[in-house]
Amino acid sequence: MVSSPVIIPVILCGGSGTRLWPLSREGYPKQFLRLLGNRSLLQDTLLRSSEVPDIGSPILMAGHAHRFMVAEQAREAGFENASLILEPHGRNTAPAAAVAAFSAMADGKDPLLLLLPSDHLIRNIPAFVHAVMAGVPSAQNGAIVTFGIVPTEPAPGYGYMKTGPCDENAAFEVDRFVEKPSVATAKEYLSQDGYFWNSGMFLFKASTYLGELEKFQPDMFRSVQDAVNRGRKDLDFFRLEEEAFKQCRSDSIDYAVMEHTDRARMIPMSAEWSDVGSWDALWQAGEKGEDGNLATGDVLIHDTKDCLVHSSHRLVAVAGLDNLMVVETPDAVLVVHREKSQDVKALVEKIRQRGGREIKEHRKVYRPWGAYDSVDNGERYQVKRITVKPGGKLSLQMHHHRAEHWIVVSGTARIRNGERDYLLTENQSTYIPVGEPHCLENPGKIPLELIEVQSGAYLGEDDIVRFEDIYGRA
C-alpha cells in the first residue's frame, strides 16, 4: 500500500488586521489575539492543520517585529519543531509562498505545501480536512489547488471565484477571480451557480508553484531565490537576506500566478469559515447571548440588541443600543454601527495621518522577555509596570537621556547596575543613573513584577543602546 504524500503546512503570519482596531494593531495584530476562546487564531490554525493526515512540521512565515510572538505562541500550542522564516519586508503572499517552496525543497524533496493564512476561523474541522484531502490528487498531478468557500450570504467583504467544469480529480477549473464586489453584484453571483468566496488557502507541489512563478514572474522568482540562498540562521529563526528580498515586488498569489496559469483548480469547502475581517464578522462568529449580544469582559447591558460590547480593562455599560460595536481598550474606544464595520479601516488611516501611536502599539507592549504596560506619562516622566518571565532577561543597555527607578512588586530581580551585581526582592528598589549600563533578569520560578519610573528630557523607546542581548536584537 502506497502511503499518502507528506504535506507541509505553511502558515502566513503577516498582516495587520486594521478592521479589528483598536484590539488589533501593527505591533499585535489579530492573528495573535484570543478573540473567541483561550487560543489565538494562529494557534487554532496550527492545531487545525495538524489534523490533516501525513502532515509534517509547519513552516511559519513572519515579519521581524512579530518573531518572538510567533515563536512563543507556537511553543504554547505544542509546535516546538516549527521552522520560523523571517521576512525583512512585507511582500504579500506570492513571494512568501516561494520562500516556503525553496525552503521545503532544500533537502532534495518535493512535498505538497498547504498554504494557510494565520488569521482565519474555521469551526468545522472535519470538513476542512476533507477538502484538503480532496485536493491532494490534483496537487500531486501538478495543479495549484485553491479552496473556495461555499457562500452563505452576498458578502461584499470577500473576493470571489467563478469556476468552470470539473476535472477527472473532482476539482473545478477556475475561470476567473473577482475582486470584492458591491452588495448588488454579490447577490447576482449567489443567484448563479459556480461562484465561491476566495479563501486564500492553497495546496500545491513546491516545484509546481516555483515553476509557474518563474514562468510568469521571473524577476520575483530570482529575487526570492537570491534572498533564500543568501539568508542566514539567527537563533531559532532563518532570516532572508534583506536587500535581495527588498527588490522583490509585493503581490498576491492570485495576481502573480493564479490569474495566468492553466493549472488553477478549486475544491469547494463548507466548513463554517470566516476571515474575521471586521467587527461584524466577529459578532457573527461569536456565541451570542440574550437579545443577540456578544459581550466580553466587564460589561453591563440593558435594553440593547444585536450588539458587540468588548471591555479590556474597565466597566463598560450600555443601554438602548441596537446593532452597534463598542470596543474599549486602555487607550482607545471604538463605537461603530455593525453595517459600517468595514469603515474602521478608514478611521485607522485618519489616525495614521495625524501621527497617532494608537494604531501601532497597545499600552501593554510584549517583548521576548515579558511585557511592559505604560501606566502613566507626562512631561519628563513615565511610569511602567514591567513583567519579566521566569528566565527572562532584558538586554544590557544604557540611556543617554533618562534615569530609571525600579521598585520590585513581586518576585526576585537580579540587577546589574554599572559594576555592581545584586538581588532585589519584594518592596526593595534601586536607581539607574543616566548613562549607566544596566541589566534586569528574573532568576526565579514565578513572574517578576516591578514598577519602573523614568525621568529625563527624552523618554522614547529609541533611547536604548544595547551592548548584549540573549534574543539577538540589534
At residue 227's C-alpha, the angle toward residues 222 and 231, to 5°, is 150
Domain ranges of the chain: 7-274, 285-353, 364-468
CB atoms within 10 A of CB 240: 27
At residue 187's C-alpha, the angle toward residues 182 and 192, to 5°, is 125
At residue 11's C-alpha, the angle toward residues 58 and 107, to 5°, is 40
With CA atoms as reference, report the closest residue to 266 among 160, 191, 179, 123.
Answer: 160
Q: Please give the pLDDT value at position 1.
A: 34
Query: C-alpha cell of 249?
Result: 515586488
Q: Please give the pLDDT value at position 167.
A: 79
Query: C-alpha cell of 460?
Result: 522614547
Query: How many CA within 13 A on the CB side of residue 105?
Result: 20
**What homologous superfamily is domain 7-274 in, according to CATH?**
Spore Coat Polysaccharide Biosynthesis Protein SpsA; Chain A (3.90.550.10)
pLDDT in tens, the chain (474 residues): 344 568 999 999 988 888 999 999 999 999 999 998 899 999 999 999 999 998 999 999 999 889 999 999 999 999 999 999 999 999 999 999 999 999 999 989 999 999 999 999 999 999 999 999 999 999 999 999 999 999 998 988 889 999 998 878 789 999 999 888 888 999 998 888 889 999 999 999 999 999 999 999 999 999 999 999 999 998 889 999 999 999 999 999 999 999 999 999 999 999 999 999 899 999 999 999 989 999 999 999 999 999 999 999 999 999 999 999 999 999 999 999 999 998 999 999 999 999 988 999 999 999 999 999 999 999 999 999 999 999 999 999 999 999 999 999 999 999 999 999 999 999 999 999 999 999 999 999 999 999 999 999 999 989 999 999 998 886
- Sign of the four-CA dihedral 62, 64, 66, 71: positive
Q: How far apart (Å, rounded) are the C-alpha atoms in residues 59 and 85?
A: 7
Q: Please give the pLDDT value at position 136.
A: 96
Query: C-alpha cell of 158?
Result: 470577500
Give the max Cα distance, the chain. 76
- Sign of the four-CA dihedral 111, 124, 189, 167: positive
357 Cβ neighbours under 8 A, 6+ residues apart: none
Q: How far apart (Å, rounded) are the C-alpha atoms in residues 35 and 282?
A: 8
Q: What architecture is domain 364-468? A: Sandwich (2.60)
Q: Which helix (H) or strand (E) holds 413?
A: strand 413-417
DSSP secondary structure letter of residue 151? P
Q: Please give the pLDDT value at position 5.
A: 65
- Residue with C-alpha cell 475582486? 179
Contact 238, 84 (CB under 8 A): yes
CB atoms within 10 A of CB 460: 10
- β-pair type (59-63, 83-87): parallel
Q: How many residues does the chain have?
A: 474
Query: C-alpha cell of 391?
Result: 528566565
Q: Which helix (H) or strand (E) holds 345?
A: helix 344-353
Q: Please give the pLDDT value at position 27.
A: 92
Q: How far apart (Å, rounded) are the C-alpha atoms in residues 276 and 294?
A: 15
